[in-house]
A and B are shown apart, each in its own frame.
Chain A
Amino acid sequence: MKVYLDNGATTKVSDEVVRAILPYYKKHYGNASSLHDFGAKAKEALEKSRKIIAQEINADPEEIVFTSGGSESDNLAIKGIAYGNKKKGNHIITTKIEHPAILGPCKELFLEGFKVTYLDVDKNGFIKLNQLKKEISDKTILVSVIHGNNEIGTVQDIEKIAKICKKKGVYFHTDAVQSFTKEKIDVKKMNIDLLSASSHKIHGPKGIGFLYIRKGVNIKKMLYGGRHENDKRAGTENIPGIVGFAKAVQLDKKLKQIKKLRDYLIKRIEKEISDVKLNGDRNKRLVNNVNISFKYVEGEALLMHLNDRGIAVSTGSACSSQSLEPSHVLVAIGLKHEDAHGSIRFTLSRYTTKQEIDYTVRELKKVVKLLRDMSPWKKGINYEAKEGDHHGY
């Protein structure tokens, strides 16, 4: 049995989406900027798709800027706002649990002389609104807070956060790559100035995403060339990608079904495997995210054994990262390094079935037992936690 539970990484492109895309490769392959009929056909598809996507978050179509994906959207938001508002200030506020596509540009801006504040989160992964209020100064130009966290699934109250930002006259951006179409988003009602989303997390194709930029927001273009995308991002539009993205938005999301299976998976693991801990908030979490630390086992070993049984998951273990550092998100919620090591993320999709979850739990129990039997570290045995014992080369 093959069970794909890594939908937070990427998803299967749905058949409906593939069918919608194909004509735009084979027949309507024109450049949307061209004046002939081939171009007109592409332009028509582009604007129709833009409208569908804009409606999903109650934006106006011209506020949607298509990009190559979530990372580009995040980079455009952070750097574009920073460079576009230098006159106002040089301070950016974000959080300790952002995706690298936010942390990366923030670090670059810091090296260029910008000031960056990283908000703390509590043990469930929520920022503290009081800290946010305190940190906003007259030099602050942007607050960027991830909506649904990609690792632990915690969903922030972005409406409240945005309200604070609006009151203080500061732009608010949210990375909604994981939450888009899973959580209700109304950019007008919620006062969101900028929002990043990506197609391949929702059964659309890879290489396409968007940044919603509220009308009137002062942002500097980052990619120069033609005057595409309301003159905010140059480059011939990826029409097949955009058409596929719009189709994916229109799919039946089956959120209730996913959520039910998510809770079933959590319940069974907690009931049938000892010494486990659910990471992230139990209720305010992405409908498809389960992140659990299995004590006394290491995540990479667990992942590989599950892989051998056809089950695909991911881990926040330091041993699986190129830096040998545990996930910054798990560290930010206060997890000890040893508990971060045993963390596994299961992310479901509309295609996940109960049989798949039952199979996963059955195999998981075997693998956890196998690894715990092999481990000298057990309940009641305390090892002195000192860092870097044998890490010297």
Chain B
Amino acid sequence: MAIDYTKKVMRVFRNPKHFGEIKNADGVGVVGNPACGDIMKVFIKVGKNKKGEEIIKDIKIKTFGCVAAIATSDTMADMIKGKTLKEAMKLTNKDVAKKLGGLPPIKMHCSNLSEEGFRAAIKDYEKKKK
């Protein structure tokens, strides 16, 4: 097999920082399915910054998946924590992959999951707000 992961991918995979759950989360997103081999669940807590803009105050994730799925979902969480919802929505899977020093081409699709995951959580929050 020998899939070439960057050192950064392996580091995050070994020591992810954002795994867990948030009770009474403001938004929850679930994407993926077992047959594809990865599922991600994103919990967010929304707060406000000094300017009164909505920000991702806290984020926790749960991921079922391969090395790339775990590393990208944790990195995504790291990147959007503290960002305004508007900024967060601009983030794409490519940004996550770049942050990790790249992903093997065959594993690029794993990073889609993390993008879809946090978008689903933000959407869920906005839906609940209405």
- Using A301-B13, A321-B1, A391-B109 as known contacts, say yes or no to A386 and B35 having CB atoms under 8 A apart: yes
Query: Is there contact, CB below 8 Å, between B106 and A324?
Result: yes
Instruction: Tell me, rounded to whole Å, the shortest Cβ–Cβ distance linking A374 to chain B.
Output: 5
A336 nearest CB neighbor, chain B only: B35
**Secondary structure dominating the interface of A:** loop
Instruction: Tell me, rounded to whole Å, the shortest Cβ–Cβ distance linking B98 to chain A.
Output: 16
Query: Is there contact, CB below 8 Å, between B39 and A383?
Result: yes
Query: Is there contact, CB below 8 Å, between B106 and A389?
Result: no
Find B39's partner among A301, A319, A373, A377 (CB 8 Å cutoff).
A377
Query: Is there contact, CB below 8 Å, between B106 and A322?
Result: yes
Contact-residue bracket for chain B: 35 or more
List, in ascending order, chain A residues with CB within 8 A of B112's CB: 390-392
For B14, B64, B108, the residue with the greatest tally of chain A CB atoms inside 10 Å of its CB is: B64
Instruction: Tell me, rounded to whole Å, the shortest Cβ–Cβ distance linking A376 to chain B.
Output: 4
Binding stretch for chain B, among A179-187, A273-281, A292-300 = A292-300
In the complex, chain B residues 16-34 whose Cβ is within 8 Å of any chain A Cβ:
16, 19, 30-34
CA distance A388 to B38 in the complex (A): 11
Instruction: Tell me, rounded to whole Å, the shortest Cβ–Cβ distance linking A321 to chain B.
Output: 7
Instruction: Tell me, rounded to whole Å, the shortest Cβ–Cβ distance linking A295 to chain B.
Output: 9
List, in ascending order, chain A residues with CB within 8 A of B19's CB: 373-374
Indicate if A314 sits at the interface (CB-CB under 8 A): yes
Query: Is there contact, CB below 8 Å, between A375 and B36?
Result: no
Query: Is there contact, CB below 8 Å, between B33 and A375?
Result: no
List, in ascending order, chain B residues with CB within 8 A of A386's CB: 33, 35
List, in ascending order, chain B residues with CB within 8 A of A337's CB: 34-37
Query: Is there contact, CB below 8 Å, between A317 and B30?
Result: no
Q: Total contacts A to B, CB within 8 angstroms?
A: 104
In the complex, chain A residues 300-326 whose Cβ is within 8 Å of any chain B Cβ:
300-301, 304, 308, 314-315, 317-322, 324
- Using A304-B13, A319-B66, A376-B63 as known contacts, say yes or no to A390 and B35 having CB atoms under 8 A apart: no
Query: Is there contact, CB below 8 Å, between A390 and B36?
Result: yes
Query: Is there contact, CB below 8 Å, between B66 and A389?
Result: no
Query: Is there contact, CB below 8 Å, between A376 and B67?
Result: no
Query: Is there contact, CB below 8 Å, between A375 and B3?
Result: no
Indicate if B95 sits at the interface (CB-CB under 8 A): no
Indicate if A338 sits at the interface (CB-CB under 8 A): yes
Indicate if B69 sits at the interface (CB-CB under 8 A): yes
- Using A324-B106, A389-B36 as known contacts, say yes or no to A376 and B30 having CB atoms under 8 A apart: yes
Query: Is there contact, CB below 8 Å, between B37 and A390?
Result: no
- Using A304-B13, A324-B106 as known contacts, say yes or no to A377 and B34 having CB atoms under 8 A apart: yes
Indicate if B70 sits at the interface (CB-CB under 8 A): yes
Query: Is there contact, CB below 8 Å, between A297 and B32?
Result: no
Indicate if B62 sits at the interface (CB-CB under 8 A): yes
Query: Is there contact, CB below 8 Å, between A300 and B67?
Result: yes
Query: Is there contact, CB below 8 Å, between B66 and A297?
Result: no
CA distance A141 to B128 in the complex (A): 67
Residues in B lying within 8 Å of A, measured CB to CB: 1, 3, 10, 13-14, 16, 19, 30-41, 62-70, 106, 108-110, 112-113, 116
Q: List 11 A-B contacts (CB under 8 A).
A: A298-B38, A301-B66, A319-B37, A319-B69, A320-B3, A337-B34, A374-B16, A375-B39, A376-B63, A383-B32, A392-B109
Given contact pairs A301-B67, A321-B1, A338-B37, enumerate 12 new A-B contacts (beta carbons under 8 Å).
A298-B37, A301-B70, A315-B1, A319-B38, A322-B106, A324-B106, A341-B37, A373-B19, A376-B62, A385-B34, A388-B36, A390-B112
